[in-house]
Amino acid sequence: MPFASGRAASLYQRFFFGSYNQGVILRTLQVASVTTLVSLALGFTAAYVVSRAPAALKSLLIVAAVFPLLTGTVVRSFAWMVILGRNGMANDALLKLGLTSEPVQLLYTQFAVVVGLVYLFTPLMILSLVGVLENIDTDLPRAAASLGAPPRAVFRQVVLPLATPGLIVGSVLVFTGSFTAFATPQLLGGEEQTVLATLLYQKAMVTLDWNGASTIASAMVVMTVIVVLLMNRLARRLNPASV
């Protein structure tokens, strides 16, 4: 038993203190965090528009918002490979606008991974926020504005606290999904943008290092739980009554 415990400790020590693994962990956290922030900004804006739209238009907007979920992850990733490729539409647009004189390396970068994940997970953020924003009484922001509160104060002190449950749920879904995503980082990031999920696949399926794979899987579970607890704590600070 002591031998097994010592061996496990050695595996975790090598994983967390290895320079290559530290780079992979940092990259994974960066990708998941940026994806969550961008999805939050886009999702909140879209959800607010949907929640305030007429009933006849609301259904169409929701269908349009969740349309990316109707296709598979691999299909969506291949579509972005075509768009972001050297001869893709993104580079064609940059060349035509005169923003660059030659094609830019967009594919197999962290930018490409974030773009793919934002497209993949923003619908989850929208769905998490629409219901919450719909339940906010429109008279509350109007009352705050009539009392002299500027728009920023109305958003920060009225809308944001009431929308906290949807924000936290959406952020947790997007962060955990981005943190554990495999297909999109593999296809859009390649070997140069290795994240924990792709490293786990390499350990388990390529090098057959099952001890290393189990160590990575356990570490990902622990880090995900820590993030969820931190977001839950943030929710209590923003709106103690919402949690």
Average pLDDT for 214-219: 92
Q: What is the pTM of this model?
A: 0.89
pLDDT confidence of 65, banded at 50, 70, 90? confident
Mean pLDDT in residue range 61-74 = 84
Give the domain extent around 129: 2-242
Using the predicted structure, report yes or no on whether residue 2 has a pLDDT greater than 50: no
Q: Rounded CA gap, 1 and 89, in Å?
A: 58
Confidence check: pLDDT of 8 > 60: yes
**What band does 3 get if pLDDT is binned at 50, 70 and 90?**
very low
Task: Indicate if the pLDDT at residue 15 is higher than 80.
Answer: yes
SS3 136: coil
Domain count, the chain: 1
The angle that helices 55-66 and 19-52 make with each other, rounded to 10 degrees, is 160
Residue predicted with more confidence, 3 or 31: 31
Checking if the pLDDT of 136 tops 90, the result is no
Average of per-residue pLDDT across 26-49: 94
CATH number of the structural domain spanning residue 207: 1.10.3720.10
Say whether pLDDT at 167 is over 70: yes
Residue 141 has pLDDT above 50, yes or no: yes
* pLDDT tens digits for range 84-103: 998 889 999 999 888 888 88
pLDDT tens column, 170-194: 999 999 999 999 999 999 998 889 9
> From CA 162, how far away is CA 180, in angstroms rounded?
29
Output 118 or 11, whichever has higher pLDDT. Answer: 118
Residues 226 and 224: their CA atoms lie apart, in Å, by 5
**Is there a contact between 163 and 136 (Cβ–Cβ < 8 Å)?**
yes
Residue 223: phi and psi, rounded to 5, are -65, -35
